[in-house]
Amino acid sequence: MTPLAADEPFQFACSSQVPCFNDCCQDLNQFLTPYDILRLKKHFGLTSAQFLEQYTSQHIGPETGLPIITLRPDYAADLKCPFVTSHGCRVYEDRPASCRMYPIARAIFRSPLTGQIEEQFMLIKEPHCRGFEQGPQMTAHEWMQQQDLTIYNAMNDRMMTIISLWRQQKQGPPDLKANRMFSMACYDLDAFRQYINTNGLPNNLDTQDIDLKTFPTDDIALLKVAFKWVLYEFFGVTESKI
């Protein structure tokens, strides 16, 4: 991994014409974000619980103790992604953010001066990858636009804000109940929808930027509220920039 300035061009292309096609879809250790899960479960027409049961494993984050979700690889086939075929990705239009971002890694931090989220990029050059031998020159932002990453980054940045806040304010992992509530809100949206339909939302939760009437059908609006709910339940934050 080498540092990459936001306006620094690099050359890359990936297609079935590249000799290493599909090589990066095996020996897999693939983390899924809440928005990744939202897109993939809708792709298959599954509930969140069904998708999680069929395709994922849950682990404990080593730094935070928070639950994290990984894609369960095919253990009988070189740990291949369950969605890869000889013709490529069968969920390509809804593939996870890390697949879209490759060969770039993106890190974010909130500026102490402006309070705005700022980005840092790294270029990942793995020995097997031949994509750097062809393709157009482009910058990190041009690549992200080409890969339709705007909505992914916006939603994933909200999750990273929560994780960063946990690192700053919490000592140790959540207890069993808190672990279940965090998992429900972030990863099992259908269960979270049922929960708030039964229990309601905190009266002072800041939801002015979200249309609560769309909850029955709009999972994106629901996930935004879930992030705000986690901030309130775990940190007492009633107003936030996410």
Domain coordinates in residue numbering, the chain: 2-151, 172-235
pLDDT per position as a tens digit, 6-55: 999 999 999 888 999 989 898 888 999 999 999 999 999 999 999 999 99
- DSSP-assigned beta bridge partners for residue 117: 110
Task: Note if the pTM is more than 0.95.
Answer: no
Residue in the structure block whose two tokens are 């007492």: 236
Whole-number pLDDT of residue 39: 98
The DSSP element (H or E) to which 107 belongs, if any, is strand 104-110
Residue in the structure block whose two tokens are 């909200």: 158
pLDDT per position as a tens digit, 102-157: 999 999 887 777 777 889 999 999 998 999 998 899 999 999 999 999 999 999 99
Q: Which residues contact 229 (CB under 8 A, 6 or more apart)?
A: 185, 192, 196, 201, 202, 205
3-state secondary structure of 28: coil
What's the count of helices (H) and strands (E) in the chain, helices before strands?
A: 8, 10
